[in-house]
Structure 1
């Protein structure tokens, strides 16, 4: 466990591409539990207590993410759907394979066009664009299946990893009813999650990152529902 944590710290200092071992590899389960323990220990014992004091001192609002989902769908959405979608979007492409980057690019493009439809901006063309992307995604995935890593990806990997971590954290500011600079510390849990999940994704694989993400979200929603 100590060696794993030293490796995690060294990887954060100098991110580099790894070949994920997969969940079936020897000691993968132990590594997964060790990263989950570290993730939860920092989250529950350090970040959440400090941020609770910060929120109280600054009079900040509580996040509205849980209020936007019905109670019947809260657990499936937060514990199952969100971890899968967010891991695919923010860390599914970290291996640099062409088809993975293709899928993520199509996903973000589709999300942009859906936002245009939602805000009534060129709704008809945007709707056709979403349909076209939906057809192109699987076709591109099949056509690019034999392609390797995107040229130059490994050189840019450290910047891309930290960019994905920061964007992942900042995206959670949308959980709050209004923006304020004093809210920035409130996404430190997501910044920490981005660090642990990125390393887990590269060392074990995308499913390992999804499992840790789901466990952390499950504890968060339990605290929100039963602990205030």
Structure 2
């Protein structure tokens, strides 16, 4: 994986690329993603919100569905030989409205902010998340778990400080070191996203990384979408991804 900044041409959104859902536009976007994987490069800025960008997200979602279909098909083949996976905690959830909203709306929002909100490498994105992260993990250690009001107040102050800092830093270009080593940051965000999902399995450990191949593939797509089209786009793609699997799970339970 190259960490160098290559020509920005594959990263640009041209009027002819994702402007329609014609058959020719679909493989074109998929080829751009393939070129991005071969040499990840951070664009100068993400494409602005537009109908063209929205259609691009739909095209990438199609690639996501194709990739997940291959992974699920392979898993079914493996299961046919008698292999059993560790118990998945998500399979035990009662899919009521609060859980569905958490998975389809809450998880995409918070996971994209946490795992890819900083991936643009801009000071206005990186420093506020560092402040919030430091407060979220540091305050409980400093004051203890028995003082929720102090921890909650500190988090509110940290959030306000992060918003003010983001406003002050808005419009600044990405850190030079971040652009230079973007490939490594892209890989790190994808790996972290996948490894965290090991917690969905009972008795899982890092040796079971094959279990989170779907999350790794999804993370690659989410990261690409985030830097090309913006954080809103990766949140939407993530929501579509989760919503599809929730719908399939509900259909499976109804059929059973």
Is the structural similarity TM-score above 0.5? yes
| Bigger relative contact order (CA 8 A; separation at least 6) | 1
Shift of 1:107: 3.7
8 A Cα contact 1:47 1:189, kept in partner: yes
- Within the candidate set 132, 135, 139, 2:154 is matched to 132
Gaps of 5+ in 1: none
Displacement of 1:143 in angstroms is 3.2
Q: Where do 4+ consecutive residues of structure 1 move more than 6 Å? A: none
TM-score (norm 1): 0.85
Report matched runs for 1:1-228 at 5 Å: 1-18=26-43, 19-24=45-50, 27-43=52-68, 45-54=69-78, 57-65=82-90, 67=92, 71-113=96-138, 122-124=144-146, 128-129=150-151, 131-147=153-169, 148=172, 149-180=174-205, 183-227=208-252
**Greater radius of gyration (CA):** 2
Superposition CA RMSD, Å: 2.7
CA contact (8 A) 2:46 2:230 kept: yes
Consecutive unaligned residues in structure 2, runs of 5 or more: 1-25
Counterpart Cα distance in 1 of 2:249 and 2:66: 18
Change in Cα spacing, 1:188 to 1:65, as seen in structure 2 (3 Å) is same
Change in CA separation of 1:113 and 1:146 when aligned onto 2, cut-off 3 Å: closer
> Which 10-residue stretch deviates more, 151-160 or 66-75?
66-75
Contact 1:61/1:176 (CA < 8 Å) preserved in 2?
yes
What TM-score results when the alignment is normalised by the length of structure 2? 0.76
Structure 2 CA distance for partners of 1:139 and 1:110, relative to 1, 3 Å? closer
Which structure's residues are more often helix, by fraction? 1
* Contact 1:168–1:191 (8 Å) recurs in 2: yes
Distance of 2:154 and 2:139 partners within structure 1? 12
Moved more, 86-95 or 56-65: 56-65
Displacement of 1:115 after TM fit? Answer: 7.2
Number of residue-to-residue matches in the alignment: 223
Q: Is the 8 A contact 2:128 2:166 kept in 1?
A: no
